[in-house]
Structure 1
Amino acid sequence: MRFAVIVFPGSNCDTDMYHAVADTLGSEAEYVWHTERDLSRFDGILLPGGFSYGDYLRTGAIARFANVMEEVVKAANAGKPVLGVCNGFQILLEAGLLPGAMRRNESLKFICRPEKLVVENNATMFTNSYEKGEVITIPVAHGEGNYFCDDDALQELEKNNQIVFRYASNPNGSVADIAGITNRAGNVLGMMPHPERAVEKLLGSEDGLKLFQSIVKSWRESHVISSGTK
């Protein structure tokens, strides 16, 4: 499986993301600059954290108009896995690939620490290696991670089982303790915590590794089905 790690001006977690899938997981990965106009050679798309374009206007608001985002939307519509972490999540919201918006943390302070998450839905291509209800430790590092959506949108998220991760103890004020959501099709995941920073014991937790393993597992299974091999 080949991953594209999208790099915007101001991205600073692209190396972590690359390490998680290439060095730790052993998958193919390539850094892809924001001017790229063809992602067809990739099987999965990763939007890392950071401060794309300096977070001017709003987090992710400028990155949403980068050339590569047309290809990200195309990949999402084609059913390819698209993962946006932290600033990547903010970009997916701005691009309309996920519902809702991101606000400043309730404390108005930058938060950087490990957090406990509860796996709410383990039936997605991102979470099939976890147990439902499993409590995992993943670090957060954000100043604008307070996820918000209106009541109607929240009802839809709940109804369609799109809330994948919740905070065990809400650090930022996110509505319904939401830490990560998918689109209705289940192939686009946005989350504020950083699974790529929790893929080996040296980093303090290996709990994020299962997320990337889940993506590869799902891709392999779908590849086998589509090719008709056993």
Structure 2
Amino acid sequence: MNIVIIEDEPKTAKSLENLILDLKPEAEIIGWYDSVESSVAALSKAQPDLIFMDIQLADGLCFEIFKSVTISCPVIFCTAFDQYSIEAFKSNGVDYILKPFSRDDIWEALKKVDELKNFFQKNATPDLNDLLNKLNPSAGKTSFLVYKNLKYTTVQTDDVAFFYIKNDSTFLVTFDRQEFPLTQTLTQVASLVSAKQFFRVNRQYLVNFKAVKEIEHYFLRKLYIRLAVETPDKLFINKEKSHAFFSWLEDR
């Protein structure tokens, strides 16, 4: 595997190179570039199998590279800034690593590239129906039958602010703060509703896009989420899931 490193800090580039070669001895680092200009010049001539790319380079943001040259290989972004994650994933990004990165961070990123490569090799001629289903996902379950105070009623899925687990049971909470128990597990509920409308932020909570009010950066690179309807617990997303969460928010 031929790899290019685009990074304007020589010590960081060298550290990254050492980690890559240690974790993947068969790889070859075929170039290191510290600017948009030098990167465009090199990538215009030949492209590697993988690029490790910093975002803020000596002469500007790396996204300028994509405006000047077509990049066909996957890109792993390594940066000290977390505000560019959505744009990164629109630019061939397969992973987004925050500095200071660790050996495990680089290993997981390389593993992800290998898994993607294996997937596309095994699925060179994907089933058309499967592809259409992925492009046009189901709208999901539109209502839930609930039972409370000796009465059955239905709750429209659009009216649900969030689902959550309490005392090992699953409940739904509506935007007008009504709470109803469900017979399904939270995992089952997640499989029934639209993945575009609901996101499982952690083991206990599945939230509606319309309920998301504010998002804050928190300790240890977590995200703190406030909903329009108060939740019994504070909602946190760990750093491993934050990129998927931002992509979900953007996918409207």
Select the structure that is richer in strand: 2
The TM-score with structure 1 as length reference comes to: 0.39
Indicate the structure whose relative CO is greater, using CA pairs within 8 Å and at least 6 residues apart: 1
